[in-house]
Chain A
Amino acid sequence: MSAPPVKEHPTDLRWIGQSMKRVEDPRLLTGRGKYIDDLTAPHVAHAAVLRSPHAHARIRKIDASKARALPGVVRVITGAEAAEQTGPLPCFANPPVAQRCIAVDRVRHVGEAVAAVVAESRYIAEDAVDLIEVEYDPLPVVVNPEDALTSSGDAVLHPERGPNNIAHQRTLTFGGYDEDLRSADVIVRRRVRWPRSGAQPMETVGAIASYDEGTGKITIHANTSMYNYVGWLVAASLQIPAHKLNIIPTIAGGSFGSKIFTHKVLVLAATLARACGRPVKYVEDRLDNMTSCDNHGSDRIYELELGLQRDGTMLAFGMKVIDDYGAYLQFGVGHHGNAAAQLTGPYRIKSARIELTAVFTNKCQQGAYRGFGSEVNNFALERIVDAAADELGISPVEIRRKNFIQPEQFPYKIPTGNVYDSGNYQAVLDKALEMADYHGWRLRQDEARAQGRYIGIGLASCQERSVFSSTEFWFWNHEPGFALTSSPESVNIKVDPTGKAFVTLYSPFWGNSPETMATQIVAEQLTIDPADIEITYADTDHGSMGTGPGGSRYTVMIAGAIAGAATEIKRKLFKIAAHFLEASERDLELREGRVAVRGTDRGMTIPEIALQAYYFRLSLPDDCNSGLDARFTYDHPYTTQPNADRTDLGVFYPIMGHMCHIPIVEVDIETGQVKYLKYVAVHDCGTVVNPMTLAGHVRGGTVQGIGSTMYEHFYYGEQGQLVTANFADYLIPTLKEAPPNIEVGHVVTPSPFTEYGIKGGGEGGRMGVPPALASAIEDALKPFGVKIDTLPITPMKIRDMIRAAQQGVH
């Protein structure tokens, strides 16, 4: 597939671009949201899970007799018993790594499920969990990812995959990397450490599963996503045919990637329900979630190099990266594929290299968290760009300006093969500098330093790739070719006999605004009042392809799907109206809910046409059947095949957003506290559907990014214990850690390839903060020569670095 045709975007928009209040909110505001734990089922039983206290051990013996004898206990199920009916969990790695909903024979991280209890109440289930006696034979524990490279013997987590703990290793080189480095005047090198943090939405993961012996069907209610894309993989794990499983979505109390599939919980709940012959409810508590969730993020050690000319022109960017994936490989090494979409950032870098080593350690497996690995690459690239500016004596602004891809160069192919559809990076930078009063603050910074105050001005200019397609999972495979998926999204629009629009989505609400987005876009397409539009979510029984939110894709994809379905509806509206009005379809127009003959007052409203369409077939044109609805599946607008040797990964993430973040902070050198004097975030997400909700994503993502930068760390001790397994130790920013005013600006460079020119903007905030805030703190502490290459940079660490510098210790 070559580049798709450039779309003409309408400019006279009525609903798109409005800060419409959210359709989702009234029920959420009044406590009528119905999250997973708010649901129940007749005769439901409740599950609790016994989790491993060991990071790595063989399970020698499980004695559940006391638990089984406890009144109110329905069943106790061990891994071996679960495995009699349920196979390994879905896995997106190649070769797959066997992971089970309850461990069999061996546990590989603290918190892995060892047994599950089903009881008449959660209280009894938890009592019974404490009565299960397990004998373990501890095995050597691997915590440090660099140690994992040389693991042997019993320290190898998956001996069937090879003799060590290297999960995947591959070097990809794009362009003339070695030549470019040889021709560079300077090569800047840095070691960067990105620690493990996670999405940690306020709601954990849960499911209510039931098994109907009459029909042989399993039904699962859950706060999951991707059920209409890969839900059948849950059936495969349960070893039932796909049509014997129905997954019904509930709304989610936040996801940020963490509920992208949630297959551990789905498979566990269904396994228990089938074994008990009763509905079973399992909702993780916070400890379950923190030790065994699907949202531990990247955990990387980088050795970076950036080759430049003396004048600051960037030539080549390369990295050796070790990523600590934990005990399993749920989504393969797709996170590094994701990063390759924007490896060289907004810069005209000619060549690049990734030497990837993914390792297994005795930690919870990685999952998905807002950025999916690209936020880490942003941090690495921007840190080394700052280091280069420092070494070459160029300002952080100038080195970026000098290397930006220019507006006339789009579509622009970066060394990895991905194409950036459009952008205007200079405009974003200029707007951010102006909003921040960057130059004014430089003067104030000097004045403050003279008074012994430490003000720092940070800057990051980052990419936000949007509109995920699944290619990134597969091109790391060693097999030369593979079939390409487009990761489509569907919608069904029914205009009923009274003219109301019923819109069916095939992906869930997980804290974003799918109902509001769909309402605004349907209102735009059909000129129906938003109050006359109803949004519902389809289960898998009634589903169409829906990859769901993730990778900042949903608004773009649902806009494409709605435009497709609405076009079919309009075609029929026009055909019927032309027939009744005795006019040519070419002379008709749809305005304000009415199809009319252009330049006259003759027309029919949508309800009038719809009534005819449903009930009066014999009055319709001959080639019209009854009804007025349309289902449309929208394929990803632009993906191409990677080449066999992976010197070109093809186009896989071309809808490219961009942002510039400028935090202005003051560091208290006695306490290490960081105070925000100003925070500016300018984003270019193409055409904006709802400025209010986009700003919400930017601000919320920014505060999450502050958490990743300064406070949050899934910290595993030497024996593989997760030391920060609760909210008192794993520090999510409170209101006190958030900037009082995140000033959001937009530059609009519409995508030439998407409906209306929309680009995704769901992850942007978190993808820009870490390098921006690190540079601000580093800038504030310039007099001490402090360098920030390792996160999280807590106030205590800041203070320690200042102390070390003051004492001349490096």
Chain B
Amino acid sequence: MEQVQVSVTVNGIRYARAVEPRRLLSDFIRHDLGLTGTHVGCEQGVCGMCTVLIDGQTARTCLTFAVQADGVEITTVEALGTPAKMHPLQRAFWEKHGLQCGYCTPAMLLTAVELLNSNPNPTRDEICEAMSAILCRCTGYQTIVDAVESAAGAMKGEAR
């Protein structure tokens, strides 16, 4: 199949690649760029596992073709923090037990980043509204909401 050039910035690094037009952005990120922190759960846009930030907004990469990402800036979980230097949201998920198997966690984190970027002081209801975009099968969600609430507080403290 004919290939198309795509140029995309992921986590601050610019990648130029030739891809088939049908290649999913999720496969591009995971298998072409090797950034496997972004996961795949249903490949039909329901579960949200494949969520990344495209130009700061959450997007489901299983419903996006790589060629559609030409010229955009993508943020994946790998850019948030490292085990040695975690993002406040990662620390809060750790503290509050906001994960068990960890499979939905990258999507949850990026969804929370988007929320807190636009609304640094969310109410618990606003957190629930935003985080309900992603399925989690392990936690029952409560500690995820706790974690986002706690991180919002911590990030305010750090910003001061």
Contact = CB atoms under 8 A, between A and B. Distances in A.
A38 B30 contact: yes
A742 interface: yes
Interface stretch (B2-10, B37-45, B65-73, B112-120): B37-45
A144 B100 CA distance: 37
Contacts of B53: none
Interface in B46-75: 46-47, 49
A509 B141 CA distance: 21
Contacts of A202: 39, 41, 47, 49, 101, 103-104, 135-137
Contact of A285 (B43, B86, B136, B143): B43
Contacts of A27: 83
A799 interface: no
Interface string A668-705: 00000000000000000000000011011001111110
Contacts of B20: 123
B76 A31 contact: yes
Interface in B11-25: 20, 22-23
Interface stretch (A149-157, A184-192, A374-382, A733-741): A733-741
B80 interface: yes
Given A32-B83, A202-B47, A732-B135, A696 B77 contact: no
Nearest to B104: A202
B138 interface: yes
Interface string A247-267: 000011111100000000000
A240 B46 CA distance: 41
Contacts of A700: 100, 137-140
A735 B86 contact: no
Contacts of A695: 97
A734 B138 CA distance: 11
Contact of A35 (B95, B103, B139): B103
Contacts of B76: 31
B137 A699 contact: no
A29 B86 contact: yes
Interface in B108-160: 109, 124, 128, 131-132, 135-145
Interface residues of A, number: 59
A701 B100 CA distance: 12
A22 interface: yes
Contacts of B142: 699, 738-742
B124 to A, nearest CB: 8
A622 B44 CA distance: 67
B145 A735 contact: yes
Contacts of A203: 39, 41, 101, 103
Interface in A17-40: 21-22, 24-35, 37-38, 40
Interface in A500-523: 510-513
Given A31-B77, A123-B23, A703-B141, A25 B132 contact: no
Contact of B46 (A201, A728, A740): A728
A31 B78 contact: yes
B94 A29 contact: yes
A765 B141 CA distance: 14
A696 B138 contact: yes
Contacts of B31: 40
A701 B139 CA distance: 8
Contacts of B37: 30-33
Given A699-B142, A740-B128, A37 B77 contact: no
Contacts of B49: 202
Contacts of B132: 734-736
Contact of A696 (B38, B46, B97): B97
A320 interface: no
Interface in A76-127: 122-123
Given A254-B138, A286-B44, A742-B140, A30 B80 contact: yes
Contacts of A735: 128, 131-132, 136, 141, 144-145
B19 to A, nearest CB: 11
Given A31-B37, A32-B83, A24 B102 contact: yes
A742 B140 CA distance: 9
Contacts of B102: 24-25, 28-29, 33, 251, 253, 511
Nearest to A72: B1
Nearest to A726: B44
Contacts of A732: 47, 135, 137
Nearest to B41: A202
B14 to A, nearest CB: 20
Nearest to B35: A31
A736 B131 CA distance: 9
Given A22-B94, A26-B94, A728 B44 contact: yes
Contacts of A254: 100-101, 103, 137-138
A22 B95 CA distance: 9
Given A29-B102, A123-B20, A253-B102, A22 B97 contact: yes
A482 interface: no
Nearest to B76: A31
Kindly name the residue among A692, A727, A736 whose own CB sees the greatest number of chain B CB atoms within 10 A: A727
A639 interface: no
A726 B103 contact: no
Contacts of B143: 696, 699
Contacts of B47: 202, 727, 732
Kindly name the residue among A29, A199, A765 whose own CB sees the greatest number of chain B CB atoms within 10 A: A29
Contacts of A703: 139-141
Contacts of B81: 29-30
A422 interface: no
Contacts of B141: 703, 735, 738
A732 B78 CA distance: 28
A728 B43 CA distance: 11
A513 B139 CA distance: 13
Contacts of A708: none
Contacts of A699: 139-140, 142-143
A202 B81 CA distance: 23
Contact of B100 (A32, A37, A512, A727): A512
A31 B30 CA distance: 11
A361 B131 CA distance: 39
Contacts of B94: 21-22, 25-26, 29
Contacts of B83: 26-27, 29-30, 32
Contacts of A38: 30, 36
A30 B37 CA distance: 7
B140 A702 contact: yes
Contacts of A285: 43
A633 interface: no
A696 B128 CA distance: 18
A623 B136 CA distance: 55
B108 to A, nearest CB: 10
Kindly name the residue among B76, B93, B135 whose own CB sees the greatest number of chain A CB atoms within 10 A: B135
A127 B95 CA distance: 45
Nearest to B91: A29
30 contacts: A28-B102, A28-B105, A29-B90, A30-B77, A31-B38, A31-B76, A32-B83, A200-B137, A251-B101, A253-B103, A286-B41, A286-B43, A511-B103, A695-B97, A696-B138, A696-B143, A699-B139, A700-B137, A701-B140, A702-B140, A726-B42, A732-B135, A734-B132, A735-B145, A736-B128, A738-B142, A740-B124, A740-B142, A742-B142, A765-B140
Those 9 A-B pairs whose CB atoms lie nearest each other, nearest first: A31-B37, A28-B102, A511-B101, A253-B103, A699-B140, A38-B36, A31-B77, A26-B83, A703-B140
Interface of B: 20, 22-23, 27, 30-31, 35-44, 46-47, 49, 76-78, 80-83, 86, 90, 93-95, 97, 99-106, 109, 124, 128, 131-132, 135-145
Interface of A: 21-22, 24-35, 37-38, 40, 122-123, 199-203, 251-256, 285-286, 510-513, 692-693, 695-696, 699-704, 726-728, 732, 734-736, 738-742, 765
